[in-house]
Amino acid sequence: MVKKAITSKNDCRLYDRSRKYTQKGGTMRLGGYDCSLVKGTQIAKLFGVSKTRERHRHRLEVQNEFVPDLEKKEWW
């Protein structure tokens, strides 16, 4: 647990890169997924569309339960 944490929620889980993980089965998100872009954001302006498809090949992503908090902080 982080000292002097503002919340007791475990908002971020980090992998220990020095440790060798051998049991990774089913933990990687692969493939294409539909993605709605928020109107007025930089990415929506750059893409010039409201919907696109994302390609994934990674183990890390934002958990949807934290999206409202991130949007309030304008981190999104």
Residue at 45 is within a domain:
yes
Residue at 62 is within a domain:
no
Residue at 11 is within a domain:
no
Residue at 14 is within a domain:
no
Residue at 41 is within a domain:
yes
**What distance in Å separates the CA atoms of residue 9 and residue 68, rounded to the nearest whole number?**
15
Beta carbons within 8 Å of 27's beta carbon, 6+ residues apart: 59
- Provide the pLDDT for residue 45: 93
Tally of domains within the chain: 1
- Provide the pLDDT for residue 35: 87
What is the residue-level pLDDT of the chain in tens, covering all 76 positions?
445 555 656 556 666 666 676 666 666 667 788 889 989 999 899 999 999 988 877 667 777 787 788 778 765 4
Residue at 37 is within a domain:
yes
Residue 36 structural domain: 30-57
pTM over 0.85: no
Residue at 72 is within a domain:
no
